[in-house]
Amino acid sequence: MVNEASGLGTGQLPDKEGQMYAIPLDGFYMIPTAEVPITNIYRNVIVNADQFPIKHAGYSECFRREAGSYGKDVRGLNRLHEFSKVEIVVIEHPDRSYERLEEMKKHVGGLLDKLGLPYRILKLCGGDISFTSAMTFDFEVWSGAQQRWLEVSSVSNFEAFQANRMKLRFKDSDGKMKLAHTLNGSALALPRIVAALLENNQTPDGIIMPECLRPYLGFEKIS
């Protein structure tokens, strides 16, 4: 749970209050992503420039109302009110934030490569990105059952938008106080990844698990 100030700091409020579960009596909201509490660690903080890049990863339950989502396409693992997700968050110097965005893209793509899943990367147009983001890339995996692409990750550079709201600053080499840049990405949304693994790895002998997962699973296939 986070308070209203945290939601305002990262831009979920007042834009997405209709999608968030609220607890009005206590003034709390259930988090839609670990981005919110992680980034707010740096609310009203002045960081040292030599700390960049500041990297965090968080694994959490996420809660979304999915208001306005109806029909057969939202059943099953497509859209859930509660799901698990790994989130990566970076605080970076403004001069290097887009270099960091490319690094985050490669990281997420590397995860999907190791899992052996067919995927594509979309650079979103201005009308599709959130009002908080300066640039966003979506990662989509192929769903054989639904015969369409499903988003499993989104990496974004918010530039100084969140930092300005949270007063996240640093003192640059010229001695001036400046706003940092914030970035975040999903790595990965687990329910859809599980579905993609089950759908894309079917053989006559069973569902073959990716080699990178076998040490953790303790088996090679689901018969």
Q: Residue 89 in 3-state DSSP? A: strand
Q: What percent of the chain has pLDDT over 90?
A: 77
Q: What percent of the chain has pLDDT over 70?
A: 95
Query: Is 70 exceeded by the pLDDT of residue 68?
Result: no
Considering the four listed CATH numbers 3.30.420.40, 2.60.40.10, 3.30.930.10, 3.40.640.10, the one that applies to the domain covering 2-222 is 3.30.930.10
Of 79, 103, 130, 199, the catalytic one is: 79
Dump pLDDT digits (tens) for 149-168.
Answer: 999 999 999 999 999 999 99
Q: Is residue 151 among the annotated active site residues? A: yes
CA–CA distance from 15 to each of 25, 84, 163, 190 (Å)? 21, 23, 17, 25
Ranges of H-type helices in the chain: 4-10, 35-39, 97-115, 161-166, 190-200, 214-217
Q: Is residue 100 among the annotated active site residues? A: no
Dump pLDDT digits (tens) for 25-50.
Answer: 999 999 999 999 999 999 999 999 99
Of 64, 100, 165, 169, the catalytic one is: 64
Q: Is residue 154 among the annotated active site residues? A: yes
Dump pLDDT digits (tens) for 94-116.
Answer: 999 999 999 999 999 999 999 99
Q: Residue 67 in 3-state DSSP? A: coil
Given this model, what pLDDT does residue 78 score?
Answer: 67
65, with CB counted inside 10 A (0-12, 13-18, 19+), is middle
Q: Is residue 148 among the annotated active site residues? A: no
Q: Is residue 214 among the annotated active site residues? A: no
Distance in angstroms (rounded) separating the CA atoms of residues 39 and 91: 8
Single pTM value for the model: 0.90
Q: Where are the domains of the chain?
A: 2-222
